[in-house]
Amino acid sequence: MKRVIQTDTTINLDIKKNNRKKTKAILLFVLPALLVYSVFILYPIFATFNYSMYNWNGVQAQKTFIGLENYTTLFSDSTFWQALKNNMLLVLVSVFIQIPLGLVMALVLFSPIMGKKWLNVIYFLPYLMSTVAIGLLWIFMYDPINGPVNQIVQMFGFNAIPWLADKNTAMLAVLLVIVWQFSPFYMILFKAAMVGIPDELYEAASIDGASGTQRFFYITLPALIPTFVTSSILAIVGSLKAFDIFYIMTGGGPGGATEILGTYMYKQGFIHFSMGYASTIAAVMFLIAFVCVIIIQIIEHQRKKRGLFT
């Protein structure tokens, strides 16, 4: 009896030793990635919130602690609210135009039509181009005198429109470019998700007499819900941290009509050398994105819990 107990004890000790070795091995492999993540992701986030508490020009070592004064100044800054409004507009366009358009493009590529390979290339080409190249291309396209867009407008008897120089049209002009550039990204996400839907489901639905519309709403759409969630998160975060296309095409002008949080933060930090105030803008951008992602995750959790669209 004692030998049996000793044997069991020895086995348990061996299992514990093996588990410890496995844990050490796992930590050893995870440590480099965790170190990189901490240095390049976590530390900058905490540093941003720290700098937002100071009056600092970003060049000199001397910083003056001012507490929440930057935040009170920011929330009474009319330019900040205009930039936030433009960012929210960009979020709405990304979620309600880019994502559905990407879905439509993916459905077209899955439909029985000729030339799908060419369409695949044509659809995805804008996303392959650099944002700088796209910005410069569309500045030429919108040129009031020689731009192809205005030449088409004049063909229909209308006057040339200064797309990027008019407060009423500048934001619309940039949003159209963003939709054109990033819709293919969501097309790829939906296309990859649709590949994973079993063909047997469509075959069974066809045997039962389901139409193409019914197959889409009862098979395809429910299977794409996780992709919609992922796409929404990416669209919101990407819209809130947008910078390059706006800076290249308009620089936030004319008269702040296309100012967004990214361009406003850049100007405060690297033109006006108010790094503390720029860090405050960055901190608010992070908080807004974080809250939006949490809300989406809560909605998705409730959807799964209630079994909706499954």
Annotate 34-56 with DSSP letters as a single string.
Answer: HHHHIIIIIHHHHHHHHHTTEE-
Note the pLDDT of residue 309. 64
pLDDT for 95: 94
Tell me: pLDDT of 115 over 90: no
The pLDDT of residue 281 is 96
* More confident call, 22 vs 131: 131
- Provide the pLDDT confidence category of residue 278 given band limits of 50, 70 and 90: very high
Q: Is 180 exposed, middle or buried (0-12, 13-18, 19+ CB in 10 A)?
A: middle
Task: Say what the pLDDT of residue 70 is.
Answer: 95
Q: How many CB atoms lie within 10 A of CB 55?
A: 15
Top pLDDT among 217 and 12 is at 217
The band of 11, judged by pLDDT with boundaries at 50, 70 and 90, is: low
Query: Which range, of 19-28, 86-95, 243-252, averages the lowest pLDDT?
Result: 19-28
Task: Give the three-class secondary structure for 13.
Answer: helix
Which pLDDT score is estimated for 51? 95
- What is the pLDDT at residue 82? 96
DSSP state, 79? H
Q: Among 6-10, 28-32, 115-119, which range has the highest average pLDDT?
A: 28-32
What is the per-residue pLDDT for 179? 96
What's the pLDDT at 4? 47
Is the CB of residue 26 less than 8 Å from the CB of residue 44? Answer: no
Phi, psi of 243 (to 5 degrees): -155, -55
Average pLDDT, the chain: 90
Euclidean distance between CA atoms 33 and 45, whole angstroms: 17
Count Cα neighbours of 254 within 13 Å in the Cβ-side half-sphere: 11
**Cβ–Cβ < 8 Å for 158, 267:** no
pLDDT at res. 234: 93
How many whole angstroms separate alpha carbon 251 and alpha carbon 263? 7
DSSP code of 66?
-
Confidence category of residue 119, pLDDT binned at 50, 70, 90: confident
Assess whether pLDDT exceeds 70 at residue 13. Answer: no
Note the pLDDT tens digit of each residue in 16-74.
777 787 888 888 888 999 999 999 999 999 999 999 999 999 888 889 999 999 999 99
